[in-house]
Amino acid sequence: MSIVVRHVWRRVFYRCVTFGAVCFTGSANAQTRDRVVKSTSSQPTNMPPAPETKPQPASRPTLSSPIIVVNTPKAVEDKPLVARTASTRAMNSPAAMAAAGRTVYGMSTTIKIDNAIKSRYGIRYVYGTAGPNTYDCSGFVWSVFQEAGVNFTRQSARSIWAMSEPVYGDDRFKYGTLVFFNNLGHMGIVSDENGFYQASSSKGITWSPFAGYWQSRIVGYRRLKPEFANIPIEDLNR
């Protein structure tokens, strides 16, 4: 090999060694340099910011109104309901109503009418009969008054209407008043402002409320005239 060729290869060798040394040094420096890591968020960039949350109170708020516990008095608590009910019934008894002027007749006749009604309770209805085993409406009224000593001829509801006088206001609801329904085709005996006694075609002798079915069917309220029923004036509770 000539001297010139050896000289050229030597220069190439030195350059390769020098370049490798530079590359190694740069790589080493790169490994020792601090890395800058860019943080990323999982939230999309087009989403609105999350709303601020207010801290919750550690305990429940204090009530603005005080709680008041009312104790039932011992005397009221121990009072039986039966006693109050019995007292109410006593106030509505025929004798009490007669004493208070809430009946058509005096106390003696009113009690007799009440007993006669109660003794017929539940007896079935049959048209055209006046007892003792079946009754229609006018037959029931007639038999009750007969037993109480108020005498008049057995007649239809329409005829009894004709021999009676009208009553108005609070007098309509006095015990013993006659009440007429259905174009004078039916009648009964008033107990008070709540209802009346009748011979019902479905229930027999019974008490029925005015409210509901019967209220709109009332024709009027009447009271037997003393001259037609042989009623002593002193026996009327006027």
CATH code of 142's domain? 3.90.1720.10
pTM exceeds 0.75: no
Element containing residue 228 per DSSP (H, E): helix 226-229
Residues 6+ apart with CB under 8 A from 141: 160, 178, 187, 188, 189
Q: Among candidates 139, 166, 165, which has minimal Cα distance to 229? A: 165
φ, ψ dihedrals at 82, nearest 5°: -60, -40
Q: Among candidates 188, 18, 49, 44, which has minimal Cα distance to 120? A: 188
Segment 202-225 shows an average pLDDT of 96
Higher pLDDT among residues 40 and 16, named by residue? 16
Element containing residue 141 per DSSP (H, E): helix 137-147
Lowest mean pLDDT among 52-56, 115-119, 187-191, 220-224: 52-56
Residue 110 within a domain: yes
Give the span between the Cα atoms of 232 and 15, in whole angstroms: 158
**Which residue do the tokens 């009208």 mark?**
166
Range of the domain at 121: 103-235
- Tell me how crowded residue 110 is: count the other CB atoms within 10 A of its CB: 25
Number of domains in the chain: 1
Residue 216 within a domain: yes
What is the reported pLDDT for 228? 73
| DSSP-based three-state secondary structure for 186 | strand
Residue 188 within a domain: yes
Residue 215 within a domain: yes
Answer for the pair 177, 167: CB distance below 8 angstroms, yes or no. Answer: yes
Residue 20 within a domain: no
Residue 67 within a domain: no
Q: What is the per-residue pLDDT across 97-142, written as a single tens digit (0 to 9) for each?
A: 988 989 999 999 999 999 999 999 999 999 999 999 999 999 999 9
Cross-strand partners of 192: 195
What is the reported pLDDT for 182? 96
**Which residue do the tokens 């004709």 mark?**
162
Amino acid at 49: P
